[in-house]
Amino acid sequence: MRRSMTFALLAASLAGALLLAPDQAQAQNAFTSPEGRFTVNFPVQADKSFNQHEHSSLTGYMADDGNVFYIANYIDYDSPITDVQEELEGTAEATAAQLNGKIVSKNFVNFTRGPGGPRKSMEFTFDSTNLTGSGMVIAESRRSYLVVGFARKPYNGVNEINRFLSSFRITSGGTGGGGRGAGQP
């Protein structure tokens, strides 16, 4: 049940990203989401979206520089994540599938950029006919983060994507989520 909710929210978020027109706005440094408890460097202005589901909510920030899409999302659940591996793998697989692609590599690691100790995470790369990219999924208690960048082929955007992913930091510890409606704008 949880997995299908996550996938539905991801699908809505990624569909929105694909509809964004390239935005040539002034570059931002250290974008901060206080309610999301993270910072990340978007190279252009990010647009915010929010989707509520019965037992979870997704808040997403998406930007498009014309060559690369950048996404930083977090999902807050009403209850703790009980199967962390399913959350990590399922989110990555759903992301690749939504982009008509496949996961080509994955690596389970402890995410340590932020207070509160290491968090379970998975780094992944994916490829499709028209897009290529990489991302990471981070899980903690009742919150899951998805940070991903993907480039339109033939451009591979690997340097920009890696810079974006490595800029992501969790700014405060916590249990993630605040129940239904948490993180609502």
Tokens of residue 138, six digits: 């981070």
> 56 near 75, Cβ under 8 Å?
yes
CA neighbor of 121 nearest in space, from 100, 151, 91, 159: 91
Per-residue model confidence as pLDDT tens digits over 47-92: 999 999 899 999 999 999 999 999 999 999 999 999 999 999 999 9
The fold of 2-170 is: Protein Transport Mog1p; Chain A (3.40.1000)
Cα distance between residue 41 and residue 3, in whole Å: 29
With 0-12 CB in 10 A as exposed, 13-18 as middle and 19+ as buried, what is 119? buried
Q: Which residues pair with 150 in a beta bridge?
A: 69, 133
pLDDT at 116: 84
Asked if the model's pLDDT at residue 7 lies above 50, the reply is no
Asked if the model's pLDDT at residue 1 lies above 50, the reply is no
Got the DSSP string for 149-163? EEEETT---HHHHHH
Q: Pairing relation of β-strands 68-77 and 101-111?
A: unpaired
The residue count of the chain comes to: 185
How distant, in Å, are the alpha carbons of 140, 141, 152, 153 from that of 84? 8, 9, 31, 32
pLDDT at 173: 66
Tokens of residue 49, six digits: 């979206």
Cis (ω within 30 of 0) for the bond into 34?
no
Asked if the model's pLDDT at residue 17 lies above 80, the reply is no
H helices of the chain, where? 2-19, 84-98, 158-167
DSSP structural state of residue 17: H
pLDDT at 32: 92
Specify the pTM.
0.81
Per-residue model confidence as pLDDT tens digits over 22-49: 444 334 457 999 999 999 999 999 999 9
Least reliable range by pLDDT among 27-31, 109-113, 118-122, 160-164: 27-31
Asked if the model's pLDDT at residue 178 lies above 50, the reply is no
Number of CB atoms found within 10 A of residue 104's CB: 12
